[in-house]
Structure 1
Amino acid sequence: MEPVLAVLSLVVLGWAVLSRRLAGWNITGPVVLSAAGFLLGNQAWGPVPVDVDAPSVHLLVELTLALLLFSDASRVNLPTLRRDVGIPARLLGIGLPASVLLGTLAAALLFNDLTWALALFVGAALAPTDAALSTQVIEDERVPARVRRALNIESGLNDGIVTPIVVFALALAATQLGHSGEDSGGVGAGLELVIGIAIGVVLGFVSAKLLAGASRRGWVIHGGRRLGALATAVGSFALAEVLGGNAFIAAFVAGMAFGAAFPPDVAAVDEVVELPELLGEVLALGVWFLFGAALVPFALEHVSLATLAYAVLSLTIIRMLPVAVGLAGTGLDTQTVGFIGWFGPRGLASVVFAILAIEQLGEFETVGPAISVVAVTVLLSVLAHGVSAGPLVRRYARSHGDGAPGGHSGPRARRRGA
């Protein structure tokens, strides 16, 4: 593992040095790390081949998702959300479930060798979006703030919302495959969900109040609040693992509770959760390296017309039709609906879910098509959304930006290596 860590560190350093120059060419962190993983970590020819089945890899992947779920959830500005809840609520409450359903049906129809459980896994794993892959859109002040805020909130919450569905699908698939030691699908996953929610609510709320109270009394050293937030994120994840709960839901709910309970008069939540977010971003670069090293070669080896067809459908109809249905009646024009629908790139959460499927199921003869279609869709998304961001933003801004209401006060996108 040490050679991989050494190479990965040097690649991250090189990207950091050239990041602004590369961003001008639409070359993001995920692109650089994925390419480096493919060239250097590929087991077929790479000088530092990566073993995706290693326990350290599993821990890296799981902790990355937990940290990002916590930081994403904690950054949701509830007062702002309440003032402009319409579009995000429709995207998450109508568009997201419809995307999961449509994606599941498409997977079941296109891949005869997939069980319904694995089809559900594909539909759910490819439903969440990643703002890091459309940072150029979310941070461009020519795009109206209402649109940027909707895309940012959607990407911050949809991975946490679909996580229980992914966990349920994997548990059901494991039961169907006869894996020993797996609990009985729905009952076990439901109990894990309840335990995870309880741990997240209690730990997130209590830690926020403790840190706030101690800060008011001057008990907290410089940087102590950030360390406390990091401890809350990791602790919720680890405690749920120990007590048999869903660790990802625990981290997500802990972030929601922490962000809601931490008083803004003590410090801005964005500042307090900066450390878990930064650590999550660093680990995310490692996950993108794993994606290039393990998932991309596997996907290219098992690519088929059905896989390519599903990837294209996932980025277009399966994403854009539910968005159009969800936003019907909001008064948004067709171009804005299409803009929001297109900029739903698939990214880190989908990669993590694919690696978790390999960890929990491990039978490539059965789970291989599901892993392949997730990897191909993410790879196509990284390329297509990266190339199209600049031109589409310029075109959209000519008719909707520069003077649109609130067009200069949008949210800061979560980077995740972008």
Structure 2
Amino acid sequence: MNNFNMMVALVGAVPLLLGLGSKWLAASPLPPTLVALGIGIALGPEGFGLIDLQKLGEQSSILEKAARLTLGISLVGVALRIPRVFIRRNWREMLVLIGLGMLLMWAISTVLVYLILGLPFWLAALIGAIVTPTDPVASSPIVTGSVAEENIPDRLRNAISFESGANDGLGYLFVFLPFLMLTRPAGEALSHWVLPTFLWDIGMATALGPLIGYTAAKLLQGSERHGAIQSDWRLIYTAALALFAIGAGRLIGSDEVLVAFAAGAAFTQVVSASERDNEEQGQEAINRFFVIPIIVLLGTALPWKGWFELGWSGVILAVAVLLLRRPPVLLLLRPLLPGIRGVPDALFLGWFGPVAVAAIYYASMMEHKLGNPVIWHVVSLVICSSILAHGVTGAPLTRLFGRKAGKRSARKGADQASSIEAAGGRRAPITGSAQ
């Protein structure tokens, strides 16, 4: 009990301290997630030894539950940020991004793990599937805040938000196929993956999530029409929706991560942007409260001995995953994605596909089910590499992208003006916008 109380006190103290210096952190090259990771390392067994998850129970089970809760809260927050019309207008493009894109990223990640670490194929495929989804928690600083809003066009910010939310839930399919192949005969594994996993887990999630979100939105609107809800209760309404969705998904044995995102997406389709302003602000605050503790816990649970055993192969793999898992895929799919208007867009969207809380969730779940520590060794190394690389490059590359986009717009405007002048004052056709 003393160990638990110590963990609660210390983990709770970190958001307090980071909040007090949040403006300084925003102006510094160190994002809060990276600072939280460092604090977790300092508090963990390899530091001051103040938090040791092994003394509280099974580490993988604790991390799985904490990550699941954080994901549920964050996914509804991500859905609230996406404009209602974005899904309706861009569903084909998003289907390519989260469908074909995830397949290619899974294939690349699997090949990298298989070739660099020499693990058995289906174990490599499992690890590759875990690091495939783009994380909604780590993506939030890239798409929110004044720096992002000033430099990144809405079409890219919305694409990152939607993809990071949807592919975390769909990652369940990619993770469970190799898991079943590792634990059952091939024929039984495939039939189980098609029937219970695909039709029930994913199918039920896509049905239950929208039903929960739609019902919650209609109940909120009805309560507002009758003047029955106070404004302060509205601030926690979507957080409660997230908890209900992820709990209900787990109760029926479905993909609870997809249930939470689908519920949030359906909620936004009913409640207008002006009506959900308060919900979005409250949800963002709650997101920050949950994000920092899970990163602190990650820092306390890092397998330093396991990393040492991986050696330079582990480092090479982490770098290769960050560079090759996603950017080449976005460049390849660019002709099928009208919202990506050029190579700079594809590279920016390709680079900022961080690996974080969703990978913690799936890795700890699979380690718990299979009892194979190499899963956590490899995935945790990729997660920390992503937090470091994407955290440090987030603000600088966002500002650089904004400056380059401004110059491209200026050059395009000058070219159009020259075309008009050359045409004798007649306006030349405009083919598009840089934004």
TM-score range, shorter chain: 0.7 to 0.9
Q: Work out whether 1:46 is the aligned partner of 2:44.
A: no
Aligned to 1:166: 175
Out of 296, 311, 315, the residue aligned to residue 289 of structure 1 is 296
Out of 107, 120, 124, the residue aligned to residue 125 of structure 2 is 120
Q: Displacement, 1:172?
A: 4.4
Out of 319, 326, 334, the residue aligned to residue 327 of structure 1 is 334
CA contact (8 A) 1:144 1:401 kept: no
Aligned to 1:342: 351
Aligned to 1:220: 229
Q: Work out whether 1:262 is the aligned partner of 2:271.
A: yes
4+ runs deviating over 6 angstroms: none
**After alignment, is 307-316 or 352-361 more displaced?**
352-361
Aligned to 1:6: 9
CA contact (8 A) 1:94 1:322 kept: no
| 1:108-152 superposed Cα distances (whole Å, 9 cap, x missing partner) | 333333341x32332222222231353579615134444344334
**TM-score with structure 1 length normalisation?**
0.82
Aligned to 1:189: 197
CA contact (8 A) 1:137 1:148 kept: no
Q: Give the whole-Å Cα distance in 1 for the aligned partners of 2:277 and 2:304.
A: 38
Q: What letter corresponds to residue 268 of structure 1 in structure 2?
A: E
Q: Work out whether 1:272 is the aligned partner of 2:279.
A: yes
Q: What letter corresponds to residue 19 of structure 2 in structure 1?
A: A
Q: Give the whole-Å Cα distance in 2 for the aligned partners of 1:138 and 1:163.
A: 33
Q: What letter corresponds to residue 161 of structure 1 in structure 2?
A: L
| Structure with more helix by fraction | 2
Q: What letter corresponds to residue 69 of structure 1 in structure 2?
A: L
Closer/same/farther in 2, CA of residues 172 and 252 from structure 1, 3 Å limit: farther
Q: Give the whole-Å Cα distance in 2 for the aligned partners of 1:185 and 1:270.
A: 40
Closer/same/farther in 2, CA of residues 131 and 213 from structure 1, 3 Å limit: same
Q: What letter corresponds to residue 326 of structure 2 in structure 1?
A: R
Aligned to 2:406: 401
Alignment RMSD, CA only?
3.2
Q: Which runs of 5+ in 1 are unaligned?
A: 178-182, 406-418
Q: Displacement, 1:342?
A: 2.0
Q: Displacement, 1:4?
A: 0.7
Counterparts of residues 110-259 of structure 1 (less than 5 Å):
110-116=116-122, 118-129=123-134, 130-132=138-140, 134=142, 139=148, 141-175=150-184, 184-190=192-198, 191-259=200-268
Secondary structure of 1:328's match? helix
**TM-score with structure 2 length normalisation?**
0.79
Secondary structure of 2:326's match? helix
Q: Displacement, 1:168?
A: 4.2
Q: Displacement, 1:319?
A: 1.0
CA contact (8 A) 1:128 1:346 kept: yes
Q: Work out whether 1:17 is the aligned partner of 2:20.
A: yes
Q: Work out whether 1:384 is the aligned partner of 2:389.
A: yes
Closer/same/farther in 2, CA of residues 305 and 281 from structure 1, 3 Å limit: same
Q: Which runs of 5+ in 2 are unaligned?
A: 411-435
| 1:250-306 superposed Cα distances (whole Å, 9 cap, x missing partner) | 212212222222345xx5334325445533432221110121111353553333233
Q: Displacement, 1:99?
A: 0.9
- Number of corresponding residues: 394
Closer/same/farther in 2, CA of residues 380 and 359 from structure 1, 3 Å limit: same
Out of 98, 101, 121, the residue aligned to residue 104 of structure 2 is 98
| 1:46-80 superposed Cα distances (whole Å, 9 cap, x missing partner) | 12222372555443222111222222234322314
Closer/same/farther in 2, CA of residues 373 and 134 from structure 1, 3 Å limit: farther
Q: Give the whole-Å Cα distance in 2 for the aligned partners of 1:41 and 1:391.
A: 31
Closer/same/farther in 2, CA of residues 92 and 138 from structure 1, 3 Å limit: farther
Closer/same/farther in 2, CA of residues 394 and 59 from structure 1, 3 Å limit: closer
Closer/same/farther in 2, CA of residues 145 and 235 from structure 1, 3 Å limit: closer
Q: Displacement, 1:227?
A: 3.6
Closer/same/farther in 2, CA of residues 72 and 336 from structure 1, 3 Å limit: closer
Aligned to 2:414: none
Closer/same/farther in 2, CA of residues 176 and 287 from structure 1, 3 Å limit: farther
Q: Give the whole-Å Cα distance in 2 for the aligned partners of 1:298 and 1:281.
A: 31
